[in-house]
Amino acid sequence: MSTRPEVLVAMSGGVDSSVAAAMLLEQGFAVTGVTMKLWGGDSDSGCCSVSDVDDARRVADQLGIDHHVFNFGDDFDAHVVQPYVDAYASGITPNPCIECNRHLKFDRLLRRADALGFNMVATGHHARIVDVGGTRRMARGADPLKDQSYVLYMLRQPELARILLPIGDIDKAGVRTLAARLGLRTATKPDSQDVCFITATGGREKFLGARIPLRAGRIVDTAGNELGQVPAVELVTVGQRKGLDLAGAGQRRFVVDVDVAAATVVVGSRADLDRDRLMLANVVWSDSPVAGRCLVQCSAHGDPRPATVDVVDDDRVLVRWDEPQRRIAPGQSAVFYEGDTVLGGGIVQP
């Protein structure tokens, strides 16, 4: 009987998870590969197409490990796709990758791995798990351009204790070098882009248009003067500047508010977007809540900005910026960092 720890590695068919599997094997783990089938519809690439499953399977064959496919399509629909559609229908800008990590990769898959007797689950994310005074924290990956700690902020101690992120210590070039040295067929495969269930040709508009009615809306300035029309108010996001088609606008105008119920988009100047605070809900802490000063990052590769965090209740946190910051679209996530480590995060409220 092998006493090596059993690891289930999530293999998307991309180079990062291919190398993650190879590294775990070199480190002496008993490795099994799995590809999650999440989305049955159109896809450019992402995690779900049959050709990506083939790539994952062939890499597993090359490495001499077993490979399985788990169909989590129902869970993906329920926890990622439907909430994505519902959010846009109510004027909120969701981050489906975060919900996929929260509900699929680090919940559904983790539970499945437990039931099947695996000790750990590994993924090919560019992030690290570090020990800070006896507790585990998510930390930025070695490659600042590829760092994915932001989309993993929802992981708490129980999850962090069971996860391995083998490629977090090397940069993307290092991953590709290793893949090439091992002769992995995914060595030169392009990185996946954007949301896996949205195609480049159809885009968000076609996807949402097939699922919810898209309604025309008025564009008004902050004083209420009507300036124009948008074809679909559901597709407009706070902070957006392009695509409003406001003829002869002398100054740059930004969307400062979207009221889907009233089918109204409010535009204003850059300064009209400035806010000195941010209310978050659905807040998750990697360990216990840490109020006080930290850095807050509001997009996957956005700049972390200094702020003070006040815990309002079990669910909510108020972020007070040191300097006013551009308004963040409701539905996006704000993540608290101490240096390079994640303390927690939550979802921006309207």
Partner 1 sequence: MSAYLDHAATTPVRPEAVDAMLPFYTVDYGNPSGAHSMARAARRAVDDARDIVAEALGARPADLVFTSGGTEADNMAIFGAVRRHGGVAVCSAIEHHAVLHPVEALHGRVVGVDARGIIDLDALEHALDDTVTIVSVMLANNESGIVQPVREVAAIVRRLAPRALLHTDAVNAFMWVDVAAECADADLITISAHKFGGPKGVGALVVRNGATLEPLLLGGGQEHDRRSGTHNVAGIVGMATAARATVETRAATVAHVSALRDRLAEGLRAAVADTYESGVSGIGDGHDRSHKVAGNCHVCFSQTESEALLFLLEKEGVLASAASSCASGAQDPSHVLAAMGVDRELAQGSLRLTLGYSSTADDVDLALDAVPAAVARLRRFG
Least separation in angstroms between residue 247's CB and partner 1 is 48
Least separation in angstroms between residue 69's CB and partner 1 is 4
Task: Report the residue number, 71 or 188, with the smaller CB distance to partner 1.
Answer: 71
Task: Report the residue number, 49 or 62, with the smaller CB distance to partner 1.
Answer: 49
Least separation in angstroms between residue 13's CB and partner 1 is 10
Task: Tell me how far apart the alpha carbons of residues 16 and 197 are, in angstroms, rounded to a whole number.
Answer: 20
**How many residues in the chain?**
350
Least separation in angstroms between residue 103's CB and partner 1 is 16
Whether the CB-CB separation of 312 and 349 falls below 8 Å is answered with no
Task: Report the residue number, 75 or 257, with the smaller CB distance to partner 1.
Answer: 75
Whether the CB-CB separation of 298 and 333 falls below 8 Å is answered with yes
Amino acid at the residue 38 = L
Packing angle of the helix pair 15-26, 172-181 (nearest 10 deg)? 70
Q: Which of 48, 97, 196, 298 is labelled catalytic?
A: 196
Distance from chain centroid for Cα 75: 17
Least separation in angstroms between residue 2's CB and partner 1 is 12
Task: Tell me how far apart the alpha carbons of residues 134 and 130 are, in angstroms, rounded to a whole number.
Answer: 10
User: Tokens at residue 330, please?
Assistant: 């409701």
User: 138: phi > 0 → left, psi -120 to 50 → alpha, else beta; which?
Assistant: beta
Query: Annotated catalytic, 196?
Result: yes
Q: State the CB neighbour count (10 A cutoff) for residue 271.
A: 10
| Widest pairwise Cα distance in the chain | 75
Binding site for partner 1 (CB under 8 A): 35, 37, 50, 53, 57, 68-71, 73, 111-112, 114-117
Q: What is the dihedral of CA 44, 49, 50, 54, to 10 degrees?
A: 90
Question: Residues 335, 96, 77, CA angle at the centre, nearest 5°?
Answer: 145
Distances (CA, A) of 156 to 109, 128, 294: 16, 14, 18
Task: Report the residue number, 50 or 216, with the smaller CB distance to partner 1.
Answer: 50
Q: Which of 48, 97, 100, 294 is labelled catalytic?
A: 100
Query: Annotated catalytic, 48?
Result: no
Least separation in angstroms between residue 81's CB and partner 1 is 17
Task: Report the residue number, 71 or 135, with the smaller CB distance to partner 1.
Answer: 71
Task: Report the residue number, 69 or 132, with the smaller CB distance to partner 1.
Answer: 69
Catalytic annotation, residues? 100, 196
